[in-house]
């Protein structure tokens, strides 16, 4: 049973032709009508009609181009109708690939004869396609079980959508595309695989045509990977195409990637080194957004050469997130909006398909945190103790930092500030500064390459012996004992 659509701006003409078709001897499953280009395009997508009887005069400009595009994809038989029996209309009908041009007013008998002939021809084409012997189509076993096939000489194309869960959309696109040599289509979890029986030097051009057609019709980007390497099994072609597909993580989607020689990922340390952790602590503490951007662009921008494993890069990004989380906790950022934004970013790091987008999301989130910090600082500056602590956390490395300097910064008398510390914090200014320095020293002791004397200097102690004495008084361990204890705990 076939489907016919009548497309005309005159609604009475549409209903008249629809009634004529339904009341005739034509065996049709559905006779529909469309009174605008938009209605026709929608029905071509959903109904997939076998025959369309359409008024040429209703298509102009972009609608005419879209009609030609849809006619090439869905390949219905077309009968053109026009009120003008001119050479220009005849050329339009030829350009569209119509089998005939009928002039209004229509002869109902002639119209039915045309439709009957077209439906019969359509039926014959379908029957011949069913009877035509097909080449041995590959199966899923050929992809996943070793030794299933001999050397495969055809072309393989993988298509992947930028969003997970869009395989059905890709499959519908591949099945509707008017291939001259129809490939075997194998849908998989996140990709659709096209297997062509022969190698064609023009296949890359076809991939670009597929890419353009996808972009015209669909939302979201896709990437197409073409493998034409000789002397390989279908499984090897699939695995190599999958490997090259991951290059989209670096170069983005909306691409055609042609597999070249086999390559392997460059190994990297997926965790921040102690020096990198220190750099991140300082950049976040001092709100150095420009330095932070430069670090990220330098670390995660790959213009060429060997590429690191995307999985390891995602781990490194989570290592950076750990420093960001530490910064949030230091500033006691635990609001619902901030938490939601953080977990959205965490999900992006794990799942977003393109590295550049992840880096941009990370920068925007940190920028958002810095704005939150500035708001908090504005409020806290009216609180003398909070402002004093903020200043001490920022300048504790300076061995000359003392009560007088901090009091000058907050615009208070040193004696008054000392009294505020005792009342508000239940400790003296000296003990508060020592707490800040010892906490910073504990983090630096995690790096076994740093000498105790260097750590003492970094946290504001000019005398290493005095640093060791103060550290042991507060923690019950010498700096060296504390380091050994912490490193042993990590190994366990």
Q: pLDDT tens-digit profile of 29-70? A: 778 899 999 999 988 888 888 889 999 989 988 899 889 888
The band of 230, judged by pLDDT with boundaries at 50, 70 and 90, is confident
For tokens 């291939």, the residue is: 179
Give percent of the chain above pLDDT 70. Answer: 93
Q: What is the pLDDT of residues 418-470, one digit of tens each?
A: 999 999 899 999 999 999 999 999 999 988 899 999 999 999 999 999 999 99
Return d(Cα 206, Cα 401) in angstroms, integer.
70
Cis peptide before 105 (omega within 30 of 0): yes
Return d(Cα 153, Cα 52) in angstroms, integer.
40
Q: What is the pLDDT of residues 13-23, one digit of tens each?
A: 888 888 888 88
pLDDT score for 135: 61
pLDDT score for 180: 74
Return d(Cα 326, Cα 323) in angstroms, integer.
5
Q: Which two tokens stand for residue 6?
A: 């009548």
- Average model confidence (pLDDT) across the chain: 87
Give percent of the chain above pLDDT 90. Answer: 47
Return d(Cα 100, Cα 112) in angstroms, integer.
13
Give the neighbor-by-neighbor strand order of the sheet with 2-7: 28-34, 2-7, 51-55, 77-82, 100-103
Q: Mean pLDDT, to the nearest integer, of 224-246?
A: 88
pLDDT score for 126: 46
The band of 1, judged by pLDDT with boundaries at 50, 70 and 90, is low
The band of 380, judged by pLDDT with boundaries at 50, 70 and 90, is low
Specify the higher pLDDT residue, 490 or 370: 370
Q: Mean pLDDT, to the nearest integer, of 280-289?
A: 94
Return d(Cα 217, Cα 173) in angstroms, integer.
9
Return d(Cα 2, Cα 453) in angstroms, integer.
88
Return d(Cα 349, Cα 343) in angstroms, integer.
10
The band of 229, judged by pLDDT with boundaries at 50, 70 and 90, is confident
3-state secondary structure the chain: CEEEEEECCCHHHHHHHHHHHHHCCCCEEEEEEECCHHHHHHHHHHHCCCEEEEEHHHCCHHHHHHHHHHHHHHCCEEEEEECCCCHHHHHHHHHHCCCEEEECCCCHHHHHHHHHHHHHHHHHHHHHHHHCCCCCCCCHHHHHCCCCCCCECCCEEEEEECCCCCHHHHHHHHHHCCCCCCCEEEECCCEEEEECCCCCCCHHHHHHHHHHHHHHHCCCCEEEEEECCCCECHHHHHHHHHHHHCCHHHHCCCEEEECCCCCCCECCCCCCCHHHHHHHHHHHHCCCHHHHHHHHHHHHCCCCCCCECHHHHHHHHHHHHHHHHHHHHHCCCCCHHHHHHHHHHHHHHHHCCCHHHHHHHHHHHHHHHHHHHHHHHHHHCCCHHHHHHHHHHHHCCCCCCCHHHHHHHHCCCHHHHHHHHHHHHCCCHHHHHHHHHHHHHHHHCCCCCCCHHHHHHHCCCCCHHHHHHHHHHHHCCCHHHHHHHHHHHHHC
Q: What is the pLDDT of residues 127-170, one digit of tens each?
A: 444 444 356 678 888 888 766 667 888 899 999 999 888 888 89
pLDDT score for 320: 97
Q: What is the pLDDT of residues 405-418, one digit of tens each?
A: 999 998 889 998 99
Q: Is 109 left (phi over 0), alpha (psi -120 to 50) or beta?
A: alpha
Q: Mean pLDDT, to the nearest integer, of 380-385?
A: 73
Say if CB 189 and CB 167 are below 8 A apart.
Answer: yes
pLDDT of residue 101 exceeding 60: yes
Pairing assessment for the beta strands 222-227 and 191-195 based on DSSP bridges:
unpaired
Specify the higher pLDDT residue, 75 or 83: 83
pLDDT of residue 354 exceeding 90: yes
| Most confident among 111-120, 216-225, 392-401 (mean pLDDT) | 392-401
Residue 8 vs residues 79, 351, 453: alpha-carbon distances, Å: 12, 48, 89
- In the chain, the N- to C-terminal Cα span, in Å, equals 72
Q: Mean pLDDT, to the nearest integer, of 213-224?
A: 78
Q: What is the pLDDT of residues 248-278, one digit of tens each?
A: 999 999 899 998 777 789 989 999 999 999 9
């Amino acid at each position: 049973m076939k489907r016919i659509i009548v497309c005309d701006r005159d609604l009475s003409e549409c209903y008249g032709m629809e009634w004529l078709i339904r009341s005739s001897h034509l065996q049709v499953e559905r006779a529909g009508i469309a009174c605008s280009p938009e209605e026709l395009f929608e029905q071509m997508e959903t109904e997939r009609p076998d025959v369309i009887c359409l008024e040429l005069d209703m298509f102009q400009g972009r609608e005419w181009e879209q009609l030609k595009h849809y006619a090439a994809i869905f390949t219905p038989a077309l009968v053109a109708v026009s009120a003008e029996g001119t050479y220009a209309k005849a050329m339009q009908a030829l350009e569209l690939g119509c089998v005939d041009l009928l002039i209004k007013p229509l002869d109902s008998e002639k119209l039915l004869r045309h439709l009957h002939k077209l439906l019969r021809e359509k039926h014959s084409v379908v029957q011949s396609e069913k009877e035509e012997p097909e080449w041995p189509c590959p199966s899923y076993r050929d992809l996943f079980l070793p030794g299933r096939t001999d050397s495969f000489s055809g072309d393989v194309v993988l298509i992947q959508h930028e969003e997970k869960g869009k395989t059905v959309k890709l499959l519908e696109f591949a099945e509707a595309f008017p291939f001259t040599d129809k490939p075997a289509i194998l849908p998989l979890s996140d990709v659709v695989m096209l297997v062509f029986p022969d190698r064609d030097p023009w296949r890359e051009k076809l991939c670009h045509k597929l890419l353009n057609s996808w972009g015209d019709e669909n939302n979201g980007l896709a990437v197409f990977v073409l493998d034409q390497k000789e002397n390989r099994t279908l499984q090897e072609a699939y695995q190599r195409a999958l490997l090259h597909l991951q290059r989209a993580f670096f170069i983005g989607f909306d691409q055609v990637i042609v597999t070249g020689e086999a390559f392997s990922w460059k190994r990297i340390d997926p965790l921040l080194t102690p020096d990198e952790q220190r750099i991140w602590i300082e950049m976040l503490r001092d709100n150095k957004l420009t330095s932070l951007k430069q670090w990220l662009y330098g670390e995660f921008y790959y213009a060429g050469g060997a590429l690191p494993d995307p999985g390891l890069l995602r781990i490194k990004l989570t290592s950076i997130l750990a420093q960001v989380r530490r910064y949030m906790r230091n500033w006691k950022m635990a609001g619902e909006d901030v938490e939601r934004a953080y977990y959205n970013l965490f999900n992006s790091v794990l799942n977003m398909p393109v590295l550049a987008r992840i880096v941009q999301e990370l920068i925007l989130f940190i920028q958002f945190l810095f704005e939150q910090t500035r708001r908090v600082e504005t409020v806290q500056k009216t609180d003398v103790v909070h402002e004093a602590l903020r200043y001490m956390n920022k300048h504790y490395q300076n061995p000359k930092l003392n009560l007088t300097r901090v009091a000058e910064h907050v615009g208070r008398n040193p004696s008054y500030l000392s009294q505020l510390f005792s009342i508000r914090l239940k400790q003296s200014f000296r003990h508060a500064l020592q707490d800040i320095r010892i906490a910073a020293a504990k983090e630096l002791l995690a790096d076994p390459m740093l000498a105790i004397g260097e750590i003492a200097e970094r946290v504001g102690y000019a005398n290493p012996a005095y640093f060791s004495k103060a550290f042991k008084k507060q923690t019950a361990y010498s700096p060296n004992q504390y380091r050994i204890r912490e490193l042993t705990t990590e190994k366990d």
